[in-house]
Structure formats: structure tokens, C-alpha cells
Amino acid sequence: MATLTSEEVQRYKRHLVLRDVGAPGQQKLKGARVLVIGAGGLGSPVVTYLAAAGVGTIGIVDDDTVSIDNLQRQIAHRTDDAGRLKVESARDTMLRLNPLITVETHAERINADNAIALISNYDIVADGSDNFATRYLVADACYFAKRPLVYATLGSFDGYVSTFKPYERNAEGEPYPTLRCLFPEAPPQGLVANCEEVGVLGPVAGVVGTLQATEVVKEILGLGESLAGRLLIYDALAARFEVVTIAWDPDNPLSGKQPTIVDLSSHRASQNSACAAE
């Protein structure tokens, strides 16, 4: 287990005095490797809080650049970062906050060809992507790589967070659910408007991303009750949280009794179709 230096003891002392964290927990955080998909509205608070918490190695996957209209919600970036790669801007913000961590940047789009290799190099994944195709790709790849996925998504005034680890079983002996137990397939492209089209209230991204970061830290520490098998819903306009149960669907196409998705080839076909359409 990674030992703490005197500088780390000083920096993390509010964690060290927590009875359920302490030095052993902080050492787990230091030794952890977390991959964050996206450095936007969700990824920004996620990487910021993971860096502050002392997660030892944080990878960021994003091929986009910073634009001025990102800054209303993407707090890892600044005005003078406009035009820079988001992974580089976020890395600089994280290291200014905590120079004791390691940040690994992947200035590329995650796809069916690189997903398994990227994800397998980390202990846990936080998905802050902004489109259904990437969310389903990441969820499927985490299943095949046997990596826990802390999932979050945003609406204009609401957000959703869950943890997927379907390669493990719950207390009743059933597999934990996958994203495909909740929604077996992604909706057709263009059917559901994204945040770029309908907008999002900036602080909502901060709330949901912070909840996502909290669940990542809980998974690393084995702390409290996991969101595996549950979906946390945040309604900003009603100032209300709700938790609903997600059950394993034995008919789901990924981890059901007769799976039809056995690799990422269907995602590769979708990528090729999208390229052809462009």
C-alpha cells in the first residue's frame, strides 16, 4: 500500500481524522487509478474533487477543445484556455490544486478500438460523456473489462447517477444490473436533444458531478452503501433527491441469460455508419 509523505499528511489531514477514512483510506486513494471520460460539465467537478481528494493517478479522455460557451458550467477551464485541448486545461487546473498527483491525458475519443485497452489500465471509470453512443460503449467496455463504472448524465435541470458493476453479485446472489437493464438500447440518434441544443443550468452540472466524484471515492474506499443497483435522481427545480431501485434484467442483451452482445463489434459498426453519414 502506498505510504504517505509528510506533505501528504498535512494536505489530507481532514481526511486522516475521519474515522472511516484515516491513513489506510488515504493510502487507498493515493494508490488508485481512475479514468474520467470527458472533461466537460460533469468531468470538470469530477476531476477537480478527485485531484483534491488525493486520488493518485487520474486519466482524462477527451478530444475536444475549450470554447467560451463551455465556461458557464465547465469549471476546470478558464477564459484564457479557449482553444486549448480540454485534457490539457483540466490537467493544469488539477495540478495547480494538487501537485502531488499524476494526471494522464488521452486527447482522443474513446471508441470500440481503444476502449478496452484504456479502461483496463485503470481501477474504476467515471463517465461524464454527453452522448448516448459513448455512454453505452463505456458501459459495455467496463462490463467486459470488469471495471466498476460510476455513471452520470445531465438534463437541463436534473441529473442521474448510478454505479454499475454487473460482474459482481448482490446479497440475493443475482448479478448487479447494467445500463442495459435500465435501457436495453440507446435511443436513435437525434431523438433526444442534448445539452447543446436545450441548455443546462450550470450549477446542476456541479451538483451531479460532485455526487459522481463522491461515489468514485466511496467505491475506492469501500465506504457506505454503493449505488450499484440503484439510480439517484436529482431534480433541481423541486430541490429534491430520489433513489429508485434498478433490478438485473435476465433478458438484457449484455449480461442476461442469453446475451447477444459478446464484444464491442456492434459499436464499431455504429462508428463506421456514423463516419459514412458524415
Model pTM score: 0.94
Q: Which of 242, 260, 47 is nearest to 162 (CA)?
A: 242
Q: In the structure grid, which three cell numbers stand for residue 98, read together?
A: 494538487
200 vs 33, 41, 65, 197, CA distance in Å?
Answer: 30, 9, 19, 9
CB 84 within 8 A of CB 66: yes
Report domain 32-277's class.
alpha beta
CB 138 within 8 A of CB 125: yes
Confidence (pLDDT) at 268: 83
pLDDT single digits (tens) 198-246:
889 999 999 999 999 999 999 999 999 999 999 999 999 999 999 999 9
Q: In the structure grid, which three cell numbers stand for residue 30, read together?
A: 493515493
Q: In the structure grid, which three cell numbers stand for residue 6, read together?
A: 509528510
For residue 187, name the pLDDT band (cuts at 50, 70, 90): confident
For residue 191, name the pLDDT band (cuts at 50, 70, 90): low
Domain boundaries of the chain, sorted by first residue: 32-277
